[in-house]
Amino acid sequence: MEFDSSPGESQGVSKAPPEAMSADLTKLGSHLISKIHVLMRVSLIYDAKNETFRQFSQESLQAVNALIQKERMVSLKILKNEIFLNEERLRYSADGFTSFKYVLTHWKKKLIGGVTFRELVDERVLNEFIFIFNSLEDGKEDNAARFTKRLADCGIDFVTVTPLEKSVSEEEDTSLEREDNREVAKKVFFETIGTVKDMITQIEGKQYPGVRKLKRLVQKTIHLAVEDESILLGLTTIKNYDEYTYNHSVNVSIYALALGRRLGFSRQMLTELGLTALFHDVGKSKIPKEVLNKPAGLDDEEWVLMKKHPLMGVETILNLKQLGEINPRMVIGIFDHHLKGDASGYPKLFRKKEISLFGRIIQIADVYDAMTTPRVYRKPWTPEQALAFMLRDRGKHLDPILLKVLIGLVGIFPIGSLVLLSTGELGIVFKPNADSKWMDRPQVILISRDQKGYVKKELADLMATNGGNQFKWSIIKTLDPTEYHIDIAKYFL
Ligand SMILES: [Fe+2]
Ligand SMILES: [Fe+2]
């Protein structure tokens, strides 16, 4: 594959893929889900006259009416494990995960698939809505019809409730979605993002939190990596514009842990490495947001500041509580993560020094994640392009042996790659082949759309044959998902 530009620059401004909802709507939508979540919980404890309840009910009202004012109506619909707002999939962030999960689970239990508000809502309407919902029994087929009728009995005819739709492909998805490990991994992943975010917020407010909670999460991640690493690697395809720094830190720690495991690190060493990776960019919390999020190139002065982040990171972790959990290896790892083999990196040193192993591991993980993440100012590189670039760059900047380990880890068709198959079907690489001899035959998710336009997913093992000695599918080439308007992360959630 040919490409000449260097990462981060000169790829032009990328258009948001059409699958993506506008940032504004996503924000309002996520806000609404979090308010509904709280109100649902509060309504189980208090009645409508209670002051606490009324306060939360007001907040939910504002959230729903803000959307109705903007969009004329609000329809929330549940399909499989996703919530659609006005027919578009609503993405959730690390913060929103618990609320999404709660609303999804409770609506599904009562077989409620959606609700539409066609006019502005007042306190009475919202209260009826919540308490009628609570009165429904779990698993009753006619709950939605009963719900709509009871609303109509109260004179509310502009709110409609629809039953949960069983999608045609739901059964086919069981192998992808009902795995316990996957659910646990998601929870740990989002909890780690949330914790990193909380810690950075505290550090920005000049408070220095402890590290024990994060350490426990790293230990859980290591446990999951031992069980099934491909689940974690799949989660790294979630690239979030708004939460970039936190998301990036967690992704880097997943890659670093996977590399560390292949180097035979003990659990203790892996825990240290995972924590170091989570903290590698913590120094950026001392850099003004305007500089950090600047869409175009930085000027000289801003670069000077930016290049201080490894050193400021060291300073920050030395100020954390529970300093006993931090050791020199970790401190040096953070300091080293932008040093280059040929001394062209930063911070500038008076004397050339060996880059520590933690530093080299994090560097590789960092570059790979940064290149494959879309930023406001550029399209992401595909995993294959990123690996090819890193290979070309090896020796000068990156540790060639670790780079080989990374390639062995993500495969020649890295998890999350969009591929064209010999049958003409499109697939997303889901899990590498356990046998390294067959690195070109991973498991892929075949994707197609049914007549209604819903995406169907089916798992295919590229080791499968046509009965004889011919393979059923082979990978022809990788494709750029942004050109096909495919949101890869969706297939790993
Ligand atoms: Fe960095
Ligand atoms: Fe980084």
189 confidence band (pLDDT: 50, 70, 90): very high
pLDDT at 68: 92
pLDDT at 453: 59
pLDDT tens for 137-187 read: 988 889 999 998 999 998 898 998 999 887 544 444 444 444 578 888 988
pLDDT at 167: 56
280 CA to middle of ligand 1, Å? 6
pLDDT at 48: 87
The contacts of residue 130 (CB under 8 Å, 6+ apart) are 39, 40, 43, 57
**Any idea which ligand is nearest the CA of 252?**
2
Is the confidence at residue 76, as pLDDT, over 90?
A: yes
What is the separation of C-alpha 210 from the centre of its chain, rounded to a whole number of angstroms? 25
pLDDT tens for 257-305 read: 999 999 999 999 999 999 999 999 999 988 888 888 777 778 889 999 9
Is the confidence at residue 227, as pLDDT, over 60?
A: yes
112 confidence band (pLDDT: 50, 70, 90): very high
102 CA to middle of ligand 1, Å? 35
What is the separation of C-alpha 57 from the centre of its chain, rounded to a whole number of angstroms? 30
331 CA to middle of ligand 1, Å? 14
350 CA to middle of ligand 1, Å? 20
Q: What are phi and psi of 145, to 5 degrees?
A: -65, -45
345 CA to middle of ligand 1, Å? 11
Beta strands 443-449; 455-461: pairing state: antiparallel
Give the pLDDT mean for 27-39: 91
Q: What is the edge-to-edge ordering of all strands in the sheet holding 112-117?
A: 88-89, 82-85, 74-79, 112-117, 159-163
489 confidence band (pLDDT: 50, 70, 90): confident
Separation between Cα atoms, residue 481 and residue 478, nearest integer Å: 9
The dihedral over CA atoms of 188, 189, 191, 197, expressed in degrees to the nearest 10, equals: 150
**Any idea which ligand is nearest the CA of 309?**
1
Quick one: what percent of the chain has pLDDT higher than 90? 41
249 CA to middle of ligand 1, Å? 9
Q: Which helix (H) or strand (E) holds 290?
A: helix 289-292
Q: How many CA atoms lie within 13 A of 169 on its CB side?
A: 22
Q: Residue 347: is the preceding peptide bond cis (ω within 30°)?
A: yes
282 CA to middle of ligand 1, Å? 8
pLDDT tens for 114-137 read: 999 999 999 999 999 999 999 999
pLDDT tens for 232-249 read: 998 888 776 567 788 999
Q: Which helix (H) or strand (E) holds 138?
A: none
219 CA to middle of ligand 1, Å? 23
Is residue 368 a contact partner of residue 390, using CB atoms and an 8 Å limit? yes
338 CA to middle of ligand 1, Å? 6
Per-residue DSSP letters for 400-433? HHHHHHHHHHH-SS-TT-EEEETTS-EEEEEE--
3-state secondary structure 266-287: CHHHHHHHHHHHHHCCHHHHHC
| Residue 265 one-letter amino acid | F
Is the confidence at residue 330, as pLDDT, over 70?
A: yes
Q: What are phi and psi of 308, to 5 degrees?
A: -85, -5
* Higher pLDDT pick, 220 / 24: 220
Is the confidence at residue 219, as pLDDT, over 90?
A: yes
Give just the sign of the alpha carbon dihedral 84, 85, 86, 88. Answer: negative
pLDDT at 94: 63
418 CA to middle of ligand 1, Å? 28
Q: What is the CA radius of gyration of the chain?
A: 24
91 confidence band (pLDDT: 50, 70, 90): confident
pLDDT tens for 461-479 read: 999 988 888 899 999 888 8
143 CA to middle of ligand 2, Å? 49
Give just the sign of the alpha carbon dihedral 163, 167, 168, 174. Answer: negative
Separation between Cα atoms, residue 36 and residue 112, nearest integer Å: 15
pLDDT tens for 332-391 read: 999 999 998 776 788 888 777 889 999 999 999 999 999 988 776 677 888 888 988 998
pLDDT at 376: 66
pLDDT tens for 418-439 read: 999 999 889 999 888 888 788 8
309 CA to middle of ligand 1, Å? 7
Give the pLDDT mean for 58-86: 90
Separation between Cα atoms, residue 255 and residue 428, nearest integer Å: 19
Closest CA to 79 of 41, 32, 114: 114
User: Can you tell me whether residue 67 is helix, strand or coil?
Assistant: helix
Beta strands 455-461; 159-163: pairing state: unpaired
pLDDT at 15: 36
**CB count in 10 Å sphere of residue 105:** 10
* pTM (2 d.p.): 0.67
Mean pLDDT, the chain, as a whole number? Answer: 84
Q: What are phi and psi of 163, to 5 degrees?
A: -70, 160
Is residue 64 a contact partner of residue 126, using CB atoms and an 8 Å limit? yes
Give the pLDDT mean for 78-82: 82
Q: Which two tokens stand for residue 208?
A: 């220095």
Is the confidence at residue 70, as pLDDT, over 70?
A: yes
59 confidence band (pLDDT: 50, 70, 90): very high
280 CA to middle of ligand 2, Å? 6
pLDDT at 487: 81
User: Can you tell me whether residue 161 is helix, strand or coil?
Assistant: strand
pLDDT at 357: 95
Is the confidence at residue 47, as pLDDT, over 80?
A: yes
3-state secondary structure 301-352: HHHHHHCCHHHHHHHHHHCCCCHHHCCHHHHHHHHHCCCCCCCCCCCCCCCC
pLDDT at 421: 92
**Any idea which ligand is nearest the CA of 365?**
2
User: Can you tell me whether residue 375 is helix, strand or coil?
Assistant: strand
The contacts of residue 351 (CB under 8 Å, 6+ apart) are none
193 CA to middle of ligand 2, Å? 14
Closest CA to 81 of 90, 72, 94: 90
* Higher pLDDT pick, 167 / 460: 460
Give the pLDDT mean for 9-35: 65
Task: Give, in order, the Cα–Cα distances in Å from 226 to each of 230, 278, 443, 491, 493.
Answer: 10, 19, 19, 22, 20
Give the pLDDT mean for 73-81: 87
Length of the chain: 493
pLDDT at 19: 46
Q: If you search the block for the tokens 């514009």, which residue do you land on?
A: 241
Task: Give, in order, the Cα–Cα distances in Å from 348 to each of 317, 343, 397.
Answer: 21, 8, 15
276 CA to middle of ligand 1, Å? 12
pLDDT at 440: 86
